[in-house]
Structure 1
Amino acid sequence: MGNVNSHASLAPISYASTIIGFISFTFTLATFLRVFWENLTTLGKANSESRTVLSTLRTELEEERLSLRELKRHQRVRGYEGGPPPADVLAGPQLDYAALHALQISLRRLNRRFEELEEPFLIDGAELDARKAARRRSRSRGEKGGGDESGDDWRVEDLYSAQSLGRRWRWLQSRGEAVKLLDSVNRLQTRRIARQVGEIACLLHSYKETLDEMRHGVAVTEGRMARVVGVRRVD
């Protein structure tokens, strides 16, 4: 019996494996280079990006806190927990107590997460005073040159800084958490607005029923007057 040469049958398999391995290595290298470039880009713009994201988070959390506080104040004015609202208070859209309490708990949790997130990027008082002074000087030069006289000594983004390499690296690690936190705040705002819109729709529906009852009452009164006086309504 003759010997069977297996090199001819193994050559195509070996060639295909080599091609697959090369393609896999190429994709892996491309992914690594893309992630590496994105990280370098994030480090490069960490100062401006961190100030923008953190100041937006602080502003939206503060606005949401004030909105929920105003809703709670309106509930107390309307006498929500003690019965119907007073006669001189217009009943408007309001959230029930359970929904408002749940939103406040969620907001407190988001506030705690934000305070932990922003702490490494807060500047000290001396640096904040220096930024205020620089902004005042810039505004005074603008006023002398006929520029806009409006403006504040500082802005929310002046509270943050990521100029050092350590803070830039910290922002690279915290950026994903900041984006998720911003998305959570937006969802909380959407929940509150959706509940308020639902309350407004119910309120408009109740007003429609009241107007229909008033129209019916006016029509009945006109009919009775027509029968008594002998006057017929002309449409």
Structure 2
Amino acid sequence: MGVTVSHTAFSPLSMVSTIIGFVSFTFTLATLLRVSWSNLSTFYAAPEEIKDTLSSLKQGLLEERRHLKRVRKRLRNVKRDQSHGPGAHSDSEGHDGSNSRHQMSRKRRPSSGRARSGKRKPMHFDRDIQSMRSTGAEDALNVMRATIRDLIKKFRDLEYPFLKSEYQTHYQQNSPNPSSQNSSEKSPYTAQYYSTNNNYKDDDNDAPSAHHLSSTNRLGLEYANCDIHRRWLWVRGKSDFVNLSTVLSRIEGRRTAHEVGEVASMVADIGRDVEDLMGLVQGVEGRLNRVVGVRRVN
């Protein structure tokens, strides 16, 4: 067998490899230029982006923490009413799913047919209240609260380099556990959420009051002017703040979906309860009409 030797300047395989190499180099160069331009844009717009992004993210964390505290407080009130017995229940629900006002009405009317037939069945609204405020809802709430707490801790660490020196010094001095954290981890959230006040030592009361919230949230005025060092830190850490904002948006969406679903279920069950009551009223009217007719014949 003979050996065929190519006498052309470039073999077909070498030409294809060269073309692929040029295309790859072009894409790599384009990606490098795009990343460089994005970093330069972020570096130039750092002063405005730092104040806007950090202020809005901080406000969102505070609002979400306050909303979750309100939801937890409602669940605790329901549990407290259930533990105190039927007489301590609110008007919306009872210990056995019935309303306390209905129990009082049954006591005042012992001779009615409804009282003789026994205890009434729970209505749709009562059953929905019990299902919505079960242990599953509390577990989901605890998960969201833990996530918000972790987000605030991470935000506190990322926020510290951009604060003014007086705020850094002030909150370093007011930190409850100065030995457990480095100086680079101090920020207004150290004193805001871990205050030495007894009202905030317990994890159940970790959200600040309205006065404390307004006194610590400076709406962007607590951040220092941007120098080259802070601009470079913002270029490196902007993605972390974007990730925090994304996680916060997901938590807000979950909480909103839960509340909207709860309200929709309650409204639907109230409508079914109203229909049942209308049927009962029509039955009572029919009985009264028959009784009146018998008396007229007599």
TM-score (norm 1): 0.76
1:193-212 map, 5 Å:
193-212=256-275
- Who is 1:151 aligned against? none
Name the amino acid aligned to 1:216. Answer: G
Give SS of 1:216's match.
Answer: helix
The yes-or-no answer on 1:67 pairing with 2:67 is yes
Q: Aligned partners of 2:23, 2:12: CA distance in 1, in Å?
A: 17
1:216 to 279, 287, 297: 279
* CA apart distance, 1:28: 1.1
2:254 corresponds to which of 174, 178, 191: 191
Report the RMSD for the aligned CA atoms in angstroms. 2.9
Summarize the Cα distance change of 1:190–1:217 in structure 2 as closer, same or farther, 3 Å threshold. same
Aligned-partner SS, 1:190:
helix
Counterpart of 2:234, as a letter, is W
Shift of 1:155: 4.7
Question: Could you say if the C-alpha distance between residues 199 and 176 of structure 1 is closer, same or farther in structure 2, counting changes exceeding 3 Å?
Answer: same
Structure 2: unaligned runs, 5 residues or longer: 94-124, 169-216
Q: Determine whether 1:42 maps to 2:22.
A: no
Query: What's the secondary structure of 2:220's corresponding residue?
Result: helix
Identity, in percent, stands at 37
| Structure 1 position 58, deviation (Å) | 0.4
Residue in structure 1 matched with residue 162 of structure 2 by the alignment: 121
Contact residue 61 and residue 148 of structure 2 kept, 8 A: yes
The unaligned stretches of length 5 or more in structure 1 are 128-153
Conserved? CA contact 1:162–1:168, under 8 Å: no
Residues 6-53 of structure 1, C-alpha deviation per residue, up to 9 Å, x if partnerless? 233853332332222222211111111111111111111111112111
- Is the aligned partner of 1:105 residue 2:146? yes
TM-score w.r.t. length of structure 2:
0.61
Q: Pick closer, same or farther for the CA change 1:80–1:123 going to 2, 3 Å.
A: farther
- Aligned length in residues: 205
Q: Specify whether residues 126 and 58 from structure 1 end up closer, same or farther in structure 2 by C-alpha distance, changes over 3 A only.
A: closer
Aligned 1:176-187 pairs, distance under 5 A: 176-187=239-250
Answer 1 or 2: higher relative contact order, Cα 8 Å, separation at least 6. Answer: 1
Residue 126 to residue 212, structure 1, CA distance change in 2 (3 Å): closer
SS state at 1:182 partner: helix
The answer to whether the 8 Å contact 2:167/2:222 transfers is no
| Partner AA of 1:98 in structure 2 | D
Greater CA drift, 1-10 or 220-229: 1-10
2:97 is matched with which residue? Answer: none
SS at match of 1:156: coil
